Structure 1
Amino acid sequence: MSNIVVFGAGGTAGSRITAEAVRRGHRVTAAVRRPEAVTYLPAEARVVTGDVTSARSVRELAPEADVFVVAVGGGERTLWPDAARTLVSTLREVPDPPRIIHLGGGATLLAPDGTRFLDAPDFPDRYRDPALGQAEALDLYRSAADGVPWTYLSPPPLEFHPGERTGRYRTGGDHPVTDAQGRSVLSYEDLAVAVLDEIENPRHLNTRFTAAY
């Protein structure tokens, strides 16, 4: 059993990760900015006020955590690099720091020609700022997270949506995992399965991986 803190536990991904962690018998702390607005999480999860971009929040929650899951969203471009920067700089000062599992952007994955999906000329403008923010967070982990264990998990770049929990998926590195038709698809429910599988059986320490059917 692990002590897991989920930042952004009230969101689409974070709520499913919280539920999956509770389902497996872990101790879960759901860190959200407005606990009074989160009434739909499992009763077994402890809901607290927490902000992954606040060094104070990170410092307060670190002693009781084995893993920090970063599943925040809906903010400005700076949200994700600010989160990564705060975690890395703060956890460097913590003895035996919790491992970071950062739910990153699928648009940071590489197309067959080696370019990022977010750099494609037809990449939707409305998604560009979040994608660039997630790319900056990934670069920060790769370049500055010495001494702080981390994993960055990217969902598929396009077909990623709520759906069925099958418990099945395949993993890859910097390129999307595709099926026989060239599609890369995953549900939020199975992303949560992948996150908890990685917590229970670490296979991607200090690197990025992706998951899809």
Structure 2
Amino acid sequence: MSVPRKDQIIGVIGPAGFGGSYLCVELIRRGHAVIGLSRNPESFGTCHGYTPRQLDIESASIEDLARNFSDIDVLVSQYGPHTQGAGALQYMPYIEVVRKLILAVKLTNIKYFVFVGGAGSLLVPTTHECLADHPSFFLSYRQQMAESDAHVRYMEERLGPIGDGLRVYRNARLAVKSGTASSTDLQTIETYEDNIRNNDRASDYIKAGRAALLFFEGNTSFPWTFVSPSPLYRPGARTGSYEITIDHLPLKGERIDKDSILSGRLTGISSADLAMAIVDEIESPKLLHKHWTASADLSNDIAYPCYVTANEI
């Protein structure tokens, strides 16, 4: 496939959302012309190199989508319920949108379709399970999120009550670490973790993101790459460095056993670093027809905003 040039047009579905806004900033800073496609693309702001194009991805027909994509060279989909929580969009509507996007892309001359999915489709090393199906994922995920003040702040800003509960859980865990835990703290941890074990399962949205990969795998009828952000994906600094892994979830440290393989070992990446990885792939494609993830250093635990705007450029 040809390498996109700086004079080509990059379309971003969801330009004002969490991942999409950081991606637009990265693209425009590198000199790319960006068309933002969503119901409210103007909320990203105004700057040279950015053109808002109002489009309701969910209600548009395949023909409407193709018409709006007709002048775009590279299309990046950051489509998802980024401001409403993981359960806001159900299984079938999500799958239907992905199906329409692919069919619309195939009606155009788009040179590369970059689809940003979820971490749930990543395979756990040494097993045949994907992350969304692994029995210890959700507990490990909440425990590691609670280790980071920046991640808890992100959850509070983006998800409201879910983030508030995570803050209480984090404070109780910190009290245990400092040796000052009360009986209330211990009960908070027990109740929170029991609830995760008994009730926290893959939502319809996570399952839909996992299933969406099946539209792509083995399909060479259009030029695509499928990006699954690593699990501890949050706003953060642009470190300028990341690692790419194909299909599998990269894990930190040494494996202990099958049941605890994820405990304390989940990796992540900042929205700024993932944006850099995606733009690097757009500028120099190496992962055509691949499902991949990127992970990076998250030791900087300073909270960053969920969404950025053209003012950041």
Normalising by the residue count of structure 1, what TM-score does the alignment of the two structures yield?
Answer: 0.88
8 A contact 1:155–1:210 mirrored in 2: yes
In the alignment, structure 1 residue 134 sits paired with structure 2 residue 209: yes
Indicate which of 46, 49, 60 corresponds to 2:51: 46
1:67: which partner in 2? 74
Which ranges in structure 2 are unaligned for 5 or more consecutive residues?
Answer: 1-5, 82-88, 139-199, 255-264, 297-313
2:10: which partner in 1? 4
User: Which structure dedicates a bigger proportion of its chain to helix?
Assistant: 2
How many pairs are equivalent?
Answer: 209
1:203 partner SS: coil
Counting only pairs closer than 5 Å after superposition, residues 41-190 of structure 1 correspond to structure 2 as 42-53=47-58, 54=60, 55-74=62-81, 75-94=89-108, 96-112=109-125, 113-124=127-138, 125=200, 127-142=202-217, 145-157=219-231, 159-180=232-253, 182-190=265-273
Normalising by the residue count of structure 2, what TM-score does the alignment of the two structures yield?
Answer: 0.62
Instruction: Find the aligned partners of 1:205 and 1:65 in 2 and give their Cα distance.
Output: 18
8 A contact 2:277–2:294 mirrored in 1: yes
Q: What code does the residue aligned with 2:129 have?
A: T
Instruction: Find the aligned partners of 2:101 and 2:236 in 1 and give their Cα distance.
Output: 31
Post-superposition Cα deviations, 1:95-148, rounded to whole Å, max 9, x if no partner, equal x333210111111111122311111235554652111111121101125x4421
Cα shift at 1:83 = 2.9
Runs of 4+ in 1 over 4 A off after TM superposition: none
8 A contact 2:15–2:38 mirrored in 1: yes
Root-mean-square deviation (CA, aligned residues, Å) is: 2.1
Instruction: Find the aligned partners of 2:38 and 2:46 in 1 and give their Cα distance.
Output: 11
Post-superposition Cα deviations, 1:29-82, rounded to whole Å, max 9, x if no partner, equal 01111245x144645311111234432342123221111100011133334422
8 A contact 2:111–2:223 mirrored in 1: yes
Q: Percent identity of the aligned residues? A: 30
Q: What code does the residue aligned with 1:166 have?
A: T
8 A contact 2:31–2:49 mirrored in 1: no
2:35: which partner in 1? 29
8 A contact 2:227–2:293 mirrored in 1: yes
2:91 partner SS: coil
- Alpha-carbon distance change, 111 to 58 in structure 1, aligned in 2, over 3 angstroms: same
Q: What code does the residue aligned with 1:64 have?
A: D
8 A contact 2:38–2:57 mirrored in 1: no
- Alpha-carbon distance change, 7 to 79 in structure 1, aligned in 2, over 3 angstroms: farther
8 A contact 1:81–1:140 mirrored in 2: no
8 A contact 1:85–1:140 mirrored in 2: yes
Q: What code does the residue aligned with 1:50 have?
A: L
User: Which structure dedicates a bigger proportion of its chain to strand?
Assistant: 1
1:160 partner SS: strand
Instruction: Find the aligned partners of 2:20 and 2:248 in 1 and give their Cα distance.
Output: 24
